[in-house]
Amino acid sequence: MSEKPPPNVARQLAQHLESLRNAGVEFVPGATPAEPRPAAPAPPRRLSGPTALPTVIPTLTVPMLQVEALPQDEAQQRIQQLANLAKQVARCVRCPHLASTRTQTVFGVGPLDPDLCFVGEAPGADEDRVGEPFVGAAGQLLTRIMIASGLSREEVFICNILRCRPPGNRTPTPEEAGHCREWLEKTIALVRPRFLVAWGGTAATNLLGTTVGITRLRGKFYDYKGIPVLCTFHPSALFHAPEKKKDVWEDMKTLMARLGRPIPGKA
């Protein structure tokens, strides 16, 4: 008898499979495996040194990829692998202090092959209770930012650097982020987003392996295993520093231009 997947993943699986069934399709859309990632026109600049900026990808507008049908088996296989990964994560006790205080792990939600995967910091109290990332106050602000940018939550895969809530919502330690990195990397590899957005310094520095602060990183594209990464401030930072809202908005405009998608009302 197979083990039940965690609720958030089960919901994603059920929705996805139901939509396949309802549509009666034999294929689902996805990026062509053989199609190369959007390439920069020149080799990216890489600096060295402990505080060096990670690879910067020169700005260019990438047209929407031509999606090509993937065999249903391939999509189902990846969904199953994602569910298996979520079950592994749900049993993870690599950070014993987090495993003993969490209500549940917060794996991530969203579709396969999205244009965007958002990476935040760690679950807070609301996320720990619900089992989904970005559902608290910061998540509601993120939703408003997305809507203003012409995005819906359903089209974006959302996850965090950590899958367990640090008590008191403290910043994850490097050790905790290191423990959880395998889960993050495997998730991104299975989800296959076109672009990543690192929300906040914890996401940016851990994803890119740099010590450079978010104020310097924001607004530019970097590279994570061939996937362009845009860094910007975490929505929760906007509660304490509302002057950063204009920076986040500029970053969203940069992102949407790179995606080749218009900002509502600006087309």
Residue 205 structure tokens: 């520095």
Structural tokens at position 132: 């989904």
Q: Quick one: which of 70, 85, 95, 117 contacts ligand SF4 (CB under 6 A)? A: 95
**Residue 92 makes contact with ligand SF4 by CB under 6 A:** yes
Which stretch, 73-81, 108-116, 160-168, 197-205, contacts ligand SF4 (CB under 6 A)? Answer: 160-168
Nearer to ligand SF4, 89 or 159 (CB): 89
Applying CB under 6 A, which of residues 78, 179, 234, 244 lies at the interface with ligand SF4?
179
Q: Which is nearer to ligand SF4, 101 or 254 (CB)?
A: 101
Q: What type of residue sits at position 100? A: S
Of 101-140, binders to ligand SF4 (CB under 6 A) are 105
Specify whether the CB–CB gap between 32 and 112 falls below 8 A. Answer: no
- Candidates 2, 8, 109, 26; CA nearest to 74 is 26
If one asks whether residue 163 binds ligand SF4 (CB under 6 A), the answer comes out as yes
Does an H or E element contain 232, and which?
strand 227-232
Choosing from 176, 223, 247, 251, the residue that interacts with ligand SF4 (CB under 6 A) is 176
Examine residue 167 and tell whether it contacts ligand SF4 (CB under 6 A): no
Beta bridge partners of 222: 56, 229
Report the residue number, 33 or 168, with the smaller CB distance to ligand SF4. Answer: 168
Q: Is residue 94 within the footprint of ligand SF4 (CB under 6 A)? A: yes
Tell me how many residues contact ligand SF4 (CB under 6 A).
Answer: 15
Residue (of 163, 164, 181, 156) closest to 255 by Cα position: 156
In the complex with ligand SF4, the residue whose CB is nearer, 129 or 261, is: 129
Residue 86 binds ligand SF4, judged by CB under 6 A: no
Report d(CA 252, CA 162) in Å as an integer.
Answer: 24
* The three-state (H, E, C) secondary structure of 74-117, written as one string: HHHHHHHHHHHHHHHHHCCCCCHHHHCCCCCCCCCECCCCCCEE
Minimum CB separation of residue 122 from ligand SF4 in Å reads 8
Range 19-42 burial, b when 16+ CB lie within 10 A, else e: ebeeeeeeebebbeeeeeebebee
Regarding 184 and contact with ligand SF4 (CB under 6 A), the answer is no
Q: Which of 60, 99, 125, 241 touches ligand SF4 by CB under 6 A? A: 99
d(CA 89, CA 69): 30
- CB closer to ligand SF4, 105 vs 187: 105
Please, which residue, 107 or 221, has the CB nearer to ligand SF4? 107
Give the interface with ligand SF4 as residue ranges (CB under 6 A).
89, 92-95, 98-99, 105, 162-164, 176, 179-180, 183
